[in-house]
Amino acid sequence: MEQETQKILYSAVQPSGNLTIGNYVGAIRNWVKLQHEFTCFYAIADLHAITVRQVPAELRRHTLELAALYIACGIDPEKCTLYVQSHVSAHAELAWILNTITYVGEMERMTQFKDKAAKHAENVNMGLMAYPVLMAADILLYQAHVVPVGIDQRQHLEITRDIAGRFNNRYGETFRIPEAYIVKEGAKIGSLQDPVHKMSKSDENPNASVYMADDRDTIIRKFKRAVTDSDNRIAASEDKPGVTNLLNIYASFKGCTVAEAEKEFEGKGYGDFKLAVGETVADVLAPIQAEQKRLLADKAYLSGILTRGAQSAAYTARKTLSKVQRKIGLYRGE
């Protein structure tokens, strides 16, 4: 492997809808910190998004909105490579090659495939099944050392490691075996209506998730309706998932510990507490929303960033893909 001065990190988010504050706390906000520690490739995973049906015009709009959101949150295109996945054809090319050494049984056992197949029974397509192989291609193209993962993504990284190891054993040392980068802070933000489950951008209950694009009144209204419990005591514990979730959200957005948050609200009622959580979240999101709006008004600027990012990503990806093509015996005219 080539020697880098910094370790390489890869991560991506789908432009399949409005991101929640859980996506922000659990992923994008951490990316801002990580861009100073690693050589980062941050993608907008539009090829992954089309494994479920998308409205074409909305997918294009969401792609640009996500790029603007990345930058508004603090992702610096001068410090990392920010690009759209489909703009680098090597992702699809390597995924096809990796499909040939990946077994159907492995894909059928993937939790996300089973969940999505149940949820989209009318559209159980091959892309949905091969989703983890494309994810493996995403990561392995850039010889990533680390991949930030949450609990629900560890299975995908494990299959990536298995595929990379299998290819290396069959064709010789080619891929770096990536490690998980576990981000503990804000790893899970629960649903406001069912806090034992993760906040999801696809939740059918409009009051369950707070979206990055929600206005101040909407944010505060959703927190006022958040599930708590009947004893009116603001303390984190396993038997108080709703209150614990709100404390975690408040601490994440206020920049304090849960213990400090508990002390701040000691003796106060749930009404004051939920209002404070909503206002704190809204205060953090307001400048991000304003900056995203400003960026979206200059589409030429955003397109330029994504074009340069794709060129940079393609240069790195092509080196790996060329090596793979030679290893498996594809004639390249050399």
How does pLDDT run across 113-129, given as a tens digit for each residue? 677 777 767 777 888 88
pLDDT for residue 12 is more than 90 = yes
Euclidean distance between CA atoms 311 and 245, whole angstroms:
41
Which residues does residue 211 pair with via DSSP β-bridges, in sequence order?
Answer: 20
pLDDT for residue 324 is more than 80 = yes
Which homologous superfamily does the CATH classification assign to the domain defined by 216-293? Tyrosyl-Transfer RNA Synthetase (1.10.240.10)
How does pLDDT run across 99-158, given as a tens digit for each residue? 999 998 888 787 776 777 777 677 778 888 888 999 999 999 999 999 998 766 788 899
pLDDT for residue 82 is more than 80 = yes
pLDDT of residue 184: 62
Euclidean distance between CA atoms 49 and 131, whole angstroms:
10
pLDDT for residue 63 is more than 90 = yes
Neighbours of 109 (CB within 10 A): 12
> What's the whole-number mean pLDDT along residues 295-309?
97
pLDDT for residue 280 is more than 90 = yes
How does pLDDT run across 224-248, given as a tens digit for each residue? 999 998 888 899 998 899 999 999 9
How does pLDDT run across 156-182, given as a tens digit for each residue? 899 999 999 999 999 999 999 999 997
Neighbours of 239 (CB within 10 A): 8
Euclidean distance between CA atoms 289 and 211, whole angstroms:
11
Lowest mean pLDDT among 3-7, 258-262, 284-288, 309-313: 3-7
pLDDT of residue 2: 44
| First-residue to last-residue Cα distance in the chain | 22
The verdict on domain 8-182+298-328 having CATH code 3.40.50.300 is no
**Which residue ranges make up each domain of the chain?**
8-182+298-328, 216-293
Q: Classify residue 126 by burial, with Cβ atoms within 10 Å: 0-12, 13-18, 19+.
A: exposed
pLDDT of residue 3: 45
> What's the whole-number mean pLDDT along residues 62-89?
97
pLDDT for residue 187 is more than 70 = no
Task: Give the pTM.
Answer: 0.90
pLDDT for residue 32 is more than 80 = yes
195-199: long-range contacts (C-beta < 8 A, 24 or more apart)?
195/227, 195/241, 195/242, 195/244, 195/245, 196/241, 198/22, 198/152, 199/20, 199/21, 199/22
Average pLDDT, the chain: 91
C-alpha distances in Å from residue 198, one per residue of 16, 26, 51: 17, 11, 21
pLDDT of residue 153: 72
pLDDT of residue 274: 96
Q: pLDDT category, 1, cuts 50, 70, 90?
A: very low
Q: Which residue has the higher pLDDT, 6 or 332?
A: 6
pLDDT of residue 33: 92
Domain 8-182+298-328 matches domain 216-293 at the CATH topology level: no
Q: Classify residue 298 by burial, with Cβ atoms within 10 Å: 0-12, 13-18, 19+.
A: exposed
pLDDT for residue 188 is more than 60 = yes
Catalytic residues: 116, 198, 201
